[in-house]
């Protein structure tokens, strides 16, 4: 397990821990201290995801889960705002936008997660061709195998530069390589 995978694995337990702590603590000073630590941890996670987000499959799955949870939160918040402040037109417009945006995020992330984890993966076998990077800011690592372009993480990308013969399982939704087996030439 690499450091990037360890940090990504700790994301959701920390979110749950801080959520439980902030909901149960009643002391104002302690609540303020814990919210400061939670904000600091969140900032560090955002910076680390920007720097190392494509180097771990756990971080990629965490991103899709975060989009899903964010979408559910937006739908909940928008529905609550719409119900409580429906007489104010500006608030109703914001609530509708939040519900629609949240529903889009839930649909997008949910579709990818369902296809990746509840449908059988695509199995590809052959020699890797055209290993490349795409994008300028958020670089995606791509490789062609058996006539199909797939996305890979940074460590796998470095190993695929030698154009080996591989057998890989690719998620149907995200198009990321989840499992790879290097075969003899």
- Cα–Cα distances (Å) from 40 to 23, 74, 122, 155, 171, in that order, read 18, 23, 39, 28, 33
Q: Residue 26, Cβ neighbours under 10 Å: how many?
A: 6
Q: For 116-129, how does the pLDDT look when each residue is reduced to its tens digit (9 = 90+)?
A: 999 999 999 988 88
pTM: 0.85
Q: For 42-57, how does the pLDDT look when each residue is reduced to its tens digit (9 = 90+)?
A: 999 888 888 777 888 8
Find the helix or strand (DSSP H, E) in which 46 lies: helix 28-52
3-class SS shares of the chain: helix, strand, coil, % to 5:
60, 20, 20
- Cα–Cα distances (Å) from 60 to 56, 67, 85, 90, in that order, read 7, 11, 37, 36
């Amino acid at each position: 397990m690499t450091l990037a995978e360890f940090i990504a694995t700790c994301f959701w337990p920390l979110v749950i821990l801080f959520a439980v702590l902030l909901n149960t603590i009643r002391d104002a000073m302690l609540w303020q201290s814990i919210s400061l630590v939670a904000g600091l941890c969140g900032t560090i996670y955002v910076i680390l995801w920007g720097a190392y987000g494509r180097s771990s499959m756990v971080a990629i799955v965490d991103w899709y889960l975060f989009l899903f949870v964010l979408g559910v939160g937006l739908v909940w918040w928008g529905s609550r705002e719409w119900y409580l402040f429906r007489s104010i037109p500006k608030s109703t417009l914001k609530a509708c936008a939040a519900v629609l945006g949240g529903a889009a995020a839930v649909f997008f992330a949910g579709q990818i997660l369902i296809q990746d984890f509840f449908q059988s993966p695509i199995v590809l076998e052959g020699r890797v061709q055209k290993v490349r990077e795409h994008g300028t800011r958020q670089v995606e690592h791509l490789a062609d195998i058996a006539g199909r372009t797939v996305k890979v993480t940074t460590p796998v990308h470095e190993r695929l530069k030698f154009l080996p013969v591989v057998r890989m399982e690719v998620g149907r939704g995200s198009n990321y390589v989840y499992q790879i087996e290097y075969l003899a030439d």
